[in-house]
Chains A and B, each alone.
Chain A
Amino acid sequence: MNCRYVQSRLSAYLDFELSGVEQQQIRNHLEQCIECSRELESLRITKVLLQQLPVVVPSSRGAERVLQRLQAQAAPAPQRFRMLNWRRTRWWQFAGGFALAVALAFWSRTEPERPFYVTSSPVSLTSLSSETAFSRTNFFPHQSTLHRASSLQGVLVYVHRSPQALHASPASLPVVPVAYPADPLLEHYPASYWNTLIINAESTFSSR
């Protein structure tokens, strides 16, 4: 057993990751080899230094932010947007709708970004009324939506915002379908990619 062989196994020796026989053979070598013992000691110190590194404390809201994003992802979208059933509609649903309309109106005045909508699968434009409503996002698609869409040829639907659009029924909104690739890494595409899609969609809309 020469020094080169021993030194190539010193970390594993240090970690007790060798077989019992090999561990003993290296130990025997170390008892009579100053050079290899010195090498071992420097590796031991390195390991100890790493073990003694202080634990880094994250910001207090880190876990909370993960949970918030999970909550946003977990919403099973299609079940949430059934058409209103007039017989079962309660006063608070009207109140909620009113509050939402006010919030949208406020949002439309404060948010400069163009809104667009993403569907979770290829759909015909006539079926977009309930599908589009759940996945609106200001910048780029929700990761959950993309995840569902990644195995499909997804469809991005641009909805032109106008004062009328806020009060119009979803089915009557002007939409432009834009295909994006079925790519498992879609969610990692930069915002610029989605911005380009939106700009293209907008120009298509304008030229109509």
Chain B
Amino acid sequence: MTHAAVVRSMDERLQQEFNELVERYYQQAYNIAYRLTGNAADAEDLVQEAFLRAYRFFDRYDRSMPFMNWFNRILTNLYIDEYRRRGRLRTVSIDETFTSEDGEESATFDLPDFTPSPMEQVLSKEYSEAIHEGLQQLSPEFRVAVVLADIEGHSYEEIAEIMNTSIGTVRSRIHRGRKQLRDYIRKRHPNLFERGELK
């Protein structure tokens, strides 16, 4: 086999591998993109661009890392950099303070059992839309951190790597992002936070 034929064969293998990754992870990537961009058209654009960019740098992909960890880094960076540059995002200063609402007092809860109960398994469309809308109110950095943690289930360390920042920053972004989201949802659906409604 000539050198050129070997190179071509390797290229074809990489291409085939990448094609399979696209088919396997497209839906997952789209779901993240949808939660980040807030709508189907921008989500599709973002995923398409992210896969094209990933393909360009596929020779740099370290296979000891899960593909989606690597890919999410590309996707979220693209989202934060490019979409903000194009002015598609409604941005909120990362240092902006957010005032929490005071709630009613209630009894203490059992800790630390954080797993959802059966009643929490089904979300109505109305609630889903409120949460989705609430996500769109967050700054891009907070939104990415919250989506990666709570929708994708990444650890803080992984998110720090994906977002190229420190674990302390990730912790802060997730915490502040969740608080802002909580306050947004609670304004619209206070019953979700009343004792007994979602327990």
Within the complex, the shortest CB–CB distance from A140 to chain B, in Å, comes to: 15
Within the complex, the shortest CB–CB distance from B19 to chain A, in Å, comes to: 6
Q: Which of B30, B82, B185 contacts A58, CB < 8 Å?
A: B30
Within the complex, the shortest CB–CB distance from A11 to chain B, in Å, comes to: 4
Contacts of A143 in B (CB 8 A): 52
A20 within 8 A of B: no
Is the CB–CB distance between A46 and B111 below 8 Å?
A: no
Is the CB–CB distance between A52 and B123 below 8 Å?
A: yes
From A54, which residue of chain B is reached at the shortest CB distance?
B128
Tally of contact residues, B, Cβ under 8 A: 61
Contacts of A14 in B (CB 8 A): 112, 114
- Once A48-B198, A54-B128, A67-B22 are accepted as A-B contacts, the answer to whether A12 and B156 lie under 8 Å apart by CB is yes
Name, among A9, A11, A40, the residue most crowded by chain B CB atoms within 10 Å (CB to CB). Answer: A11
Tally of contact residues, A, Cβ under 8 A: 47
Is the CB–CB distance between A52 and B175 below 8 Å?
A: no
Q: Which residues of A contact B (CB under 8 A)?
A: 8-15, 17, 27, 30-31, 34, 37-38, 40-59, 62-63, 65-67, 69-70, 73-74, 143, 147, 188
Q: Which of B67-75, B88-96, B144-152 contacts A (4 or more CB under 8 A)?
A: B144-152
User: Could you list 5 A-B pairs, sorted by A, with CB under 8 Å?
Assistant: A12-B174, A49-B123, A53-B151, A70-B18, A70-B51
Bound Cα distance A94, B27 (Å): 43
Within the complex, the shortest CB–CB distance from B35 to chain A, in Å, comes to: 7
Contacts of A31 in B (CB 8 A): 108, 111
Is the CB–CB distance between B105 and A11 below 8 Å?
A: no
Q: Which of A9, A41, A52, A67 contacts B121, CB < 8 Å?
A: A52
Is the CB–CB distance between A11 and B22 below 8 Å?
A: no
B106 within 8 A of A: yes
Closest 8 A/B residue pairs (Cβ): A50-B150, A63-B26, A58-B30, A11-B175, A46-B182, A56-B34, A52-B123, A37-B108
B192 within 8 A of A: yes
Is the CB–CB distance between A59 and B44 below 8 Å?
A: yes
Give me 14 other A-B pairs in contact (C-beta within 8 A), A56-B35, A69-B48, A73-B52 excluded.
A11-B174, A11-B178, A30-B111, A53-B123, A53-B131, A54-B123, A56-B34, A56-B40, A58-B43, A62-B47, A63-B26, A66-B51, A67-B19, A70-B51
From A35, which residue of chain B is reached at the shortest CB distance?
B105
B66 within 8 A of A: no
Is the CB–CB distance between A55 and B31 below 8 Å?
A: yes
Within the complex, the shortest CB–CB distance from A84 to chain B, in Å, comes to: 21
Contacts of B112 in A (CB 8 A): 13-14, 27
Contacts of B181 in A (CB 8 A): 46, 50
Bound Cα distance A154, B171 (Å): 44
Q: Which residues of B contact A (CB under 8 A)?
A: 11, 15, 18-19, 22-23, 26-27, 30-31, 34-35, 40, 43-44, 47-48, 51-52, 55-56, 82, 85, 103, 105-109, 111-112, 114, 116, 120-123, 127-128, 131-132, 146-147, 149-151, 155-156, 167, 171, 174-175, 178-179, 181-182, 185-186, 192-193, 198
Q: Which of B52, B116, B175, B198 contacts A70, CB < 8 Å?
A: B52
Bound Cα distance A27, B85 (Å): 43
Bound Cα distance A188, B81 (Å): 12
Is the CB–CB distance between B31 and A51 below 8 Å?
A: no
Bound Cα distance A31, B107 (Å): 11
Is the CB–CB distance between A38 and B106 below 8 Å?
A: yes
Contacts of B34 in A (CB 8 A): 56, 58
Is the CB–CB distance between B111 and A49 below 8 Å?
A: no
